[in-house]
Structure 1
Amino acid sequence: MAYLDELGDAEETPSTPTEGRWYAVQVASGCEKRVKANLEQRKHTLDVADRIFQIEIPQTPMVKIRKDGSRQHSEEKVFPGYVLIQMIMDDEVWQVVKNTPNVINFVGAEQKRRYGRGRGHVRPMPLSPPEVERIFKQASEQEPIVKIDMAAGDKILVLSGPFKDFEGEVIEVSPERSKLKALLSIFGRDTPVELEFNQVEKQS
């Protein structure tokens, strides 16, 4: 039986014929790009491209500072393990997405099953417009994430600022602030100093 025949009284707003609704799909860890590529291909080969529109993996800029101080620019997923799909939901589209390799489930489907809302397949819950706006706004406006290959106990050399050319030892790393604390020998005394990631270089 088609899953739409087993809905019961659905509360969701029907999909807009021309735009569809956004759905979150849980996928196997590390397979987000593979799922997106497969879905882009499957929607054409299985003739549902008129109902599956955008397939997105929200990402934000990320900068990794290597041991030699060089920077590697890339992107980091905002919600690892999830892919967002804008589509018009019907039984055929549901089957195409659900049967794509590495897709686990639609977000919201299991929650409905736990609360007894439907047997077997249940209608996935679309994201609300405010949720969609918040997700993409977070991805577009978030400051670049800076990661550094350093930890407490590592020796560093300060490259810029008032403590340029000072050597020290890392005592604390704060990735969320892109800063670290280090003990520098100033006037013969070990003094804790807060530094930006891009101000230091790890010593071998």
Structure 2
Amino acid sequence: MELNKEWYVLHTYSGYENKVKENIEMRKESMNMENNIFRVEVPEEEVTVVQDGGGTKTRMEKTFPGYVLVEMIMSDDAWFIVRNTPGVTGFVGSHGAGSKPSPLLPEEVDNLLGNAQAARVDLNVEVGDHVEITDGAFSGLSGRVEGIEVDQQKLKVVIEMFGRETVAELEFYQVKREDI
């Protein structure tokens, strides 16, 4: 039976995620498990915080406090080493009594690790440009860009409906630039 490397979720003590990552990486080397335990990740995202003085500060925050992702081949040895790492309280998806956990689906891994960022759209528009809406409820309509949020991949587009202007908030992937 050939075992594949897959991603699993570990439950940890909150605040100890980075220590658990460090411990697993040290244990995999000291116990020669590099062929069974591959990557250990603590999902994080960049967050911008508005400070009291009106300025902003950017910092990294854990996306899922209390959880760590590990890519591994679920052998008995690898499972034992990871499960008994200090700070690990268990695998998510394990039913206890020594049962092995279920791996994450590939699309779950992509979402958790931010590989969905690869799906970001590079839209070359500026406020005042005209766009054609290609997806969603307003598909087929055209409008003028009123606002752009590059980080969130969103735009505010003014469209004319029923003789009045309406502002629609759209994702970058839902529009294309009109060449006038």
TM-score normalized by structure 1?
A: 0.53
Q: How many residues align?
A: 121
Does the 8 Å contact 1:15/1:21 carry over to 2?
A: no
CA distance in 2, matches of 1:104, 1:84: 13
Q: Cα deviations across residues 124-154 of structure 1 (Å, max 9, x unaligned)?
A: 111111221222237748xxxxxxxxxxxxx
Q: 1:1-80 to 2 correspondence within 5 Å?
A: 15-16=3-4, 20-80=5-65
Corresponding residue SS for 2:112: helix
1:126 aligns with 2:103: yes
Tell me the amino acid that sits aligned with residue 15 of structure 1: L
Q: Tell which structure's C-alpha radius of gyration is larger.
A: 1
Does the 8 Å contact 2:110/2:116 carry over to 1?
A: no
Aligned-residue offset at 1:59: 1.1
Aligned-residue offset at 1:50: 1.5
Q: Cα deviations across residues 79-127 of structure 1 (Å, max 9, x unaligned)?
A: 11110000111111111111111101001113xx5xxxxxx20011111
Inter-CA distance 58–14: structure 2 relative to 1 (3 Å threshold): farther
- Percent identity (aligned): 37
Q: 1:24-173 to 2 correspondence within 5 Å?
A: 24-110=9-95, 113=96, 120-137=97-114, 140=117
Aligned-residue offset at 1:64: 2.2
User: Cα RMSD (Å) of the superposition?
Assistant: 2.6
CA distance in 2, matches of 1:139, 1:82: 19
Aligned-residue offset at 1:21: 0.4
TM-score normalized by structure 2?
A: 0.60
Corresponding residue SS for 1:109: coil
Does the 8 Å contact 1:78/1:139 carry over to 2?
A: no
Corresponding residue SS for 2:26: helix
Does the 8 Å contact 1:25/1:103 carry over to 2?
A: yes
User: What's 1:158 paired with?
Assistant: none
Aligned-residue offset at 1:62: 1.0
Corresponding residue SS for 1:105: strand
- Structure 2 residue runs of 5 or longer lacking an equivalent are 119-151, 153-180
- Structure 1 residue runs of 5 or longer lacking an equivalent are 1-12, 114-119, 142-176, 178-204
CA distance in 2, matches of 1:50, 1:138: 24
Corresponding residue SS for 2:78: helix
CA distance in 1, matches of 2:49, 2:69: 26
CA distance in 2, matches of 1:65, 1:139: 26
